[in-house]
Amino acid sequence: MSESPHLVAALAAIGKSKEGVSNAELPDALNDSSEWTTLWVVRQLMALGFVEQKIDFFGNPAKYQLTELGRSALATMTGQPAPPKPASASPAMPSAAPKTA
């Protein structure tokens, strides 16, 4: 199986970004001005489970981030170490369980 250069380029661009890549940034990373190509790449990566979309409910653009499977696939395709996991954007909420004495 041969990888599409667009798929590998998108995986690499998403892996380089600590915060993820938005829809507006992805065509630049692919060096392609066709929105159809970008849409095809995103659908393929999401269908394979390599990428997930993180939605910001406070007005910032949604970002695509690599999953564990995507990190492993990128490392296999490029022969380089897997990129590190991005830091969690929001701290963990404390549990609301009632305390008993």
Within a domain: residue 68? yes
CA 96 to chain centre: 31
Q: What is the CATH number of the domain that holds 61?
A: 1.10.10.10
**pTM here?**
0.72
* Mutual angle of helices 35-48 and 68-78, in 10-degree steps: 110
Q: What is the pLDDT of residue 86?
A: 66
Tally of domains within the chain? 1
Which pLDDT value is given to residue 99? 60
Domain membership flag for residue 21: yes
Is 35 a member of any domain? Answer: yes
pLDDT digits (tens, 9 = 90+) for 45-72: 999 999 999 998 888 888 999 999 999 9
What kind and span of H or E run contains 53? strand 51-54
Q: Answer yes or no: is 90 within a domain.
A: no
Whether residue 91 is contained in a domain is answered as no
Decide if 87 is inside a domain.
no
- For residue 52, tell me if it sits in a domain: yes
- Residue 20 covered by a domain: yes
Tens-digit pLDDT profile for the chain (101 aa)? Answer: 456 788 888 899 998 888 889 888 888 888 877 888 888 999 999 999 999 999 988 888 889 999 999 999 888 888 887 777 766 544 444 555 556 65
Spatial neighbors of 23 by CB under 8 A, at least 6 apart, are: 38, 42, 61, 62
CB-count exposure of residue 27 (10 Å: 0-12, 13-18, 19+) = middle
Residue ranges making up the domain that contains 35:
5-78
